[in-house]
Structure formats: C-alpha cells, structure tokens
Amino acid sequence: MSDDTTEPGRNDASVDAASTTDGGERGATGATGEPGVASSDEDVEVLRAERDQWRDAAVRLQADFENYRKRAAGQAADEADRAAGRIVEQLLPVLDACEAALAHGVTGVDAVWTPLLDALQKQGLERLEVAGQPYDPAVAEAVVHEPGDGGSDGGPVVAEVLRTGWRWKGRVLRAAMVRVEG
C-alpha cells in the first residue's frame, strides 16, 4: 500500500522528481502547480530588488530629463535676451541722435524720443549714470584725462559724460564715453 502523503498511483520518488529544480530546491512550481510562478521568499526578494533597480533608473531618467528641459528653456531665454540686446544696440545711434537734438533745442524730437525710450526701458534698457562717480572702466571709457583732485579715495572721477552708456538687462551694452579728472 502507498503512503498517505503521496497522491494515489505515485510513489515518493516521482513526487520528488516532479517538484524539484535543477539545484534540488523545491518551489519551481507555485501553489497552483503551474511552472514559472515564484513561490519562495528568495524569488520574491530577487523580483523586488529588480523592481527597485528599474524604479531608481526611471526616477533618475525623469530627473535628467527635467534638468535638460530647464537648461534648454534657460538657454532659449538667454538667446532671446541676447537677440533683443543686439536689436537695441542697433537702436542706440537713434537714441544718441535724439539726445543730441534735444541738447541743441530741436523741437519735435521729444515726440519720438520719449515713447521710444520708455518702451526700451520697460524691456530692460537702463541709462548708465556715471557723472560725478568714481571712474569704473567696466561701465565707462575714458577718452579725456585731466589733472584734478580726484575722488575721496584719490582715484579718478567722471567729470563729464560725452556719450551716454547703456545697460541691457544687467549687461553693459555700451560703455559711456567720459572725461575724467584725477
């Protein structure tokens, strides 16, 4: 008679052969008896580790893409600012002509000068105010040097602005031409 723990018509040797893996471990079949269904704790841990690796890779890829997107948007904005700056730079002679005409009392120039300057200033154009300030070669170009007292620190001081300097969104677009003393 057969043992009560085996199926009828099967002996112990056939049960062991059907339920072991290549290494002799049990668990190649799941609780349902289907091959390929993981049932051991070790198989579950391997699958969890693999899942975690894929999740980490996906998170890194998403972060890399987000960084790329931000960098590309920043570069596009910088390029747009530089392009606008080049246009404004080409308009500076018009501003110089209007400023010179106003200084010589020409009438009717104010109708062009004021709206043009206001529109450009709203977009980021700033006049460099250097008169009476210590000379800074980053914002002013000294074309005339005269002896004088100098500033409180003994360095040269801007005595007169010969041509207005302009800054576009924090970057010096054109240095002021100045006469310095000291």
Q: Which CATH superfamily is domain 126-182 in?
A: Head domain of nucleotide exchange factor GrpE (2.30.22.10)
Q: What is the pLDDT of residue 147?
A: 86
CA distances from 171 to 5, 45, 176 (A): 88, 58, 13
Q: Please give the model's pTM, rounded to 2 decimal places.
A: 0.61
pLDDT at 84: 92
* Model confidence pLDDT, tens digit, residues 124-156: 999 999 999 999 999 999 999 988 776 667 789
CB 166 within 8 A of CB 177: no
Instruction: Please answer whether residues 88 and 121 qualify as being in contact, where contact means their C-beta atoms are separated by less than 8 angstroms.
Output: no
Domain limits, the chain: 126-182
Percent of the chain with pLDDT over 90: 66
Mean pLDDT by 10 residues, the chain (182 residues): 48 45 46 57 92 96 97 95 92 93 92 93 94 93 85 81 93 94 85
